[in-house]
Amino acid sequence: MSTNESILEVTDLRTSFFTEGGEVKAVDGVTFDVPAGKTLGIVGESGSGKSITAMSILQLISHPGKIKGGEIKFRGKNLLDLTEKEMRKIRGNQISMIFQEPMTSLNPTYTVGQQIRESYKIHQGLGKKEGSKRAIEMLKLVGIPSPEKRLDQYPFELSGGMRQRVMIAMALACKPDLLIADEPTTALDVTIQAQILELIKELQDELGMSVVMITHDLGVVAETCDYVAVMYCGKVVEYADVRTLFKNPRHPYTVGLLKSLPRSDRDQEELTPIKGTVPSPDEMPVGCRFAPRCPFATDLCHEKLPSLDDVGDGEQIRCWIYTDEWNGDPGVKVYEPERTTES
């Protein structure tokens, strides 16, 4: 994998939701590493389980969801072995999280100051005065003008971009080692998105944090991440460093995503969509989850689930094509770089 040591190692994580219709395996054996000081992107479409994975790391899954098994090793110790009390000391202190909707992720009935101070109170036992001082420092750090005034404002008085900055200030208040950002810019306008992504990157360098970036946007991945895990139907299908993933994608799903993407930086003649739709939980294929939509699928793919295997250079693929058992066209080319007119 990487030469760096990992700050977070997730192994065979399984999280299910138990509904009237039966068990829905939202996260179904997810494995990945987050190298220290780096950014791992988890990318996937809706229903891939990427957000549930993030929530599982902090054990924020509530009824009827349940973490069924696996291991979440944070700096060497398995978080799933901790008590709820021990886990509370990790949340917001060593591992923090920011969310997709800055408009609704702050409590509307408390001021910005009250909400940031709470972190200091819980984790460092600071009182109002010291807490306010630190809160002002944090607001300055995330580039909020006149922070003293903002402290007494309510979330509704701030714009979306400002709220996401407040969320970041709150998340970073205790200088965590790991920040999990769950679609942090999806709800924001593109010029604001650029500010927030840059801000996260700068703060990461300054504070030496590691980041897990959950997103559906391959552009965001290319710009912010060092490593990428591509998820489909609750499983990681490809794990690679960001250059390899974009320059030489190997899993047919990754390739399909890239080919479906309308680009703003160059002209494309035609988009090549992935056929069909994501299977619903009650009709999950038994073999490779992607087989029904995969242009290369053989009987083997429909019958047996491939495992996530190392293919060298720290890359991992869950696909029969890259195994000895592959019984389809031996010379199959999953990805051919498009000839494009670069702008």
49 to 68, contacts with another protein by CB under 8 A?
58, 60, 63
CB 326 within 8 A of CB 255: no
Is position 90 an interface residue for another protein (rule: CB under 8 A)? yes
Residues in 271-330 at the binding interface with another protein, rule: CB under 8 A: 271-275, 277-278
Q: What SS3 state is found at 263?
A: coil
Is position 221 an interface residue for another protein (rule: CB under 8 A)? yes
Q: What angle do CA 298, 301, 306 make, to 5 degrees?
A: 145
Member of 222, 311, 322, 326 binding another protein (CB under 8 A): 222
Question: What is the smallest separation between the CB atom of 318 and another protein, expressed in angstroms?
Answer: 18
Is position 101 an interface residue for another protein (rule: CB under 8 A)? yes
Q: Percentage helix, strand, coil, to 5, in the chain?
A: 35, 25, 40
Question: What is the smallest separation between the CB atom of 59 and another protein, expressed in angstroms?
Answer: 9
Closest to another protein by CB, 16 or 119 = 119
The residue type of 301 is C
Closest to another protein by CB, 242 or 300 = 242
Question: What is the smallest separation between the CB atom of 3 and another protein, expressed in angstroms?
Answer: 19
CA 111 – CA 157 distance, rounded (Å): 10
CA 256 – CA 271 distance, rounded (Å): 10
Give the count of residues interacting with another protein (CB under 8 A): 88
CB 227 within 8 A of CB 210: no
Residues in 145-204 at the binding interface with another protein, rule: CB under 8 A: 145-146, 154, 156-162, 167, 170-171, 189-195, 197-199, 202
Closest to another protein by CB, 275 or 327 = 275
End-to-end CA distance of the chain: 35
- What totals of helices (H) and strands (E) does the chain contain, helices first? 11, 14
Residues in 129-148 at the binding interface with another protein, rule: CB under 8 A: 141-146
Member of 8, 27, 40, 97 binding another protein (CB under 8 A): 97
Read off the DSSP letter of residue 91.
Answer: B
CA 15 – CA 291 distance, rounded (Å): 23
Q: What SS3 state is found at 64?
A: coil
Is position 93 an interface residue for another protein (rule: CB under 8 A)? yes
Stretch that binds another protein, among 8-16, 100-108, 302-310, 316-324 (CB under 8 A): 100-108
